[in-house]
Amino acid sequence: AITLIAEAKPGRMSSSIIKDLGEHPEDKKPVRVMKGQYGPYIKYKSLNATIPEEKDPLELNMEEALILIEKRKEYDKTKKKKEKEINMSIENKIRELSIILPKAADPVGSYLATKISGKLLFISGQISINDKGELIKGKLGKELNTEAGYNAAKRCGLSIIAQAKKACSDDLNRIKSCIKLTGFVNSTDNFIEQPKVINGASDLIASVFGDLGMHTRAAVSTNSLPLGVAVEVDAIFELN
């Protein structure tokens, strides 16, 4: 049986025609075997279907190509459906978790709260603010314990989601994945549980976005944060 390798990633800049199989029987559009940066593939209109490694591209005929084209169409259709289901579940998850997102705060200074570059969304550091809009201040290891720090980081995570939603015109479906969180913890020299504190933000992002929310991370100790807040977290997301 001929199977489709999950992702076809032809190198467009270096692609060349290996073999012209003729016209597609339905619309008379050309069907070609191409050589790309990532290996041979079938080119039909805007569709690229990978040729299995065990198959010699020079021996590929139109019948086999049509099978691979249909498999690629079905794969793309299934992938889009799955992504739609995952994305729709983000808003549902927020409601399910009874999460109330805070208002996305405007920046105070000569910088942006968010910035999109290509397919990356950068979110400036969000400081710890409670549900009443009050700053969560204090130093971990002195005024605050790890649990209080965890909750403060969770509030930062809520602000990150609010900023992401605003940047995406209220459409969290645009979020493809969370790339990285960087957390800063206002802590004493002897406090060593910064990772446990930043888990508050990480756990929230993972619970809301599921697999899309799994990210890389840094948890950094600092001797002071703006306005004396306990925690600050920034984020990078990938967009669809």
State the DSSP code for 217: E
Q: In the chain, what is the straight-line distance between the N-terminal and C-terminal CA atoms, in Å?
A: 33
3-state secondary structure of 129: strand
d(CA 164, CA 87): 14
How is residue 95 written in tokens?
A: 């409601």
- Confidence at residue 89, expressed as pLDDT on a 0 to 100 scale: 76
Q: How high is the mean pLDDT in each 10-residue block of the chain (240 residues)?
A: 43 72 94 90 93 90 94 89 70 91 94 97 98 97 97 98 96 93 98 98 95 96 97 97
- pTM over 0.75? The answer is no
Cβ atoms of 97 and 207 closer than 8 Å: yes
